[in-house]
Amino acid sequence: MRNRVCFIGLGLIGGSLAMAVKKEHPSIYVTGYDINSENAGLALTLGVIDEIAGSAAEGAIGADCIILSAPVQQTLQLMEELSRLPLKKGVLITDVGSTKETISLHAKKIFSDDVVFIGGHPMAGSHKSGVSAAKAHLFENAFYVLCGEKDEQALYIEELKNLFAGTKANFVVMDPKEHDLATGVISHFPHIIAAGLVHQAVRHEEENPLTRRLAAGGFRDITRIASSSPGMWRDILLQNKDHMLQLFERWFEEMQRIRNYVDTEDSHAIYRYFSDAKEFRDGLPARQQGAIPAFYDLYIDVPDFPGIISEITGFLAKEQISITNIRIIETREDVNGVLRISFQREEDRIRARDCIAKYTSYETFFG
CATH T-level fold of 296-366: Alpha-Beta Plaits (3.30.70)
Query: What pLDDT score was predicted for residue 272?
Result: 95
Query: For the chain, what percent of residues have pLDDT higher than 90?
Result: 56
Listed in order, the ranges of the chain carrying CATH 1.10.3660.10 are 180-282
Q: Where are the beta strands (DSSP E) in 123-248?
A: 143-147, 170-173
Q: How confident is the model at residue 349 (pLDDT cuts 50, 70, 90)?
A: confident
- Determine contact, residues 282/177, Cβ cutoff 8 Å: no
To the question of domain 4-174 being in CATH 2.60.40.180, the answer is no
Query: What pLDDT score was predicted for residue 319?
Result: 87
Listed in order, the ranges of the chain carrying CATH 3.30.70.260 are 296-366
* Residue positions counted in the chain: 367
Tell me how far apart the alpha carbons of residues 266 and 355 are, in angstroms, rounded to a whole number.
48
The pTM (predicted TM-score) of the whole model is 0.76
CATH of domain 180-282: 1.10.3660.10
Query: What pLDDT score was predicted for residue 292?
Result: 59
Tell me how far apart the alpha carbons of residues 186 and 98 are, in angstroms, rounded to a whole number.
12
Among residues 6, 108, 84, the alpha carbon closest in space to that of 50 is found at 6
Among residues 164, 82, 77, the alpha carbon closest in space to that of 116 is found at 82
Query: What pLDDT score was predicted for residue 337?
Result: 44
Query: What pLDDT score was predicted for residue 322?
Result: 84
- Residues ≥6 apart with Cβ < 8 Å to 146: 94, 118, 119, 120, 157, 160, 161, 171, 172, 173, 174
Query: What pLDDT score was predicted for residue 361?
Result: 83
- Residues ≥6 apart with Cβ < 8 Å to 181: 243, 246
Q: Is pLDDT of 145 > 70?
A: yes
pLDDT one-digit tens code per residue, 269-288: 999 999 999 999 888 776 55
Strand 4-8 with 65-68, pairing: parallel
Query: What pLDDT score was predicted for residue 82?
Result: 97
Tell me how far apart the alpha carbons of residues 82 and 68 are, in angstroms, rounded to a whole number.
10
pLDDT one-digit tens code per residue, 36-67: 999 999 999 999 999 999 999 999 999 999 99
Average pLDDT of the residues in 138-145:
89
Q: How confident is the model at residue 297 (pLDDT cuts 50, 70, 90)?
A: confident
Q: How confident is the model at residue 191 (pLDDT cuts 50, 70, 90)?
A: very high
Q: Which residue has the higher pLDDT, 220 or 10?
A: 10
Query: What pLDDT score was predicted for residue 289?
Result: 60
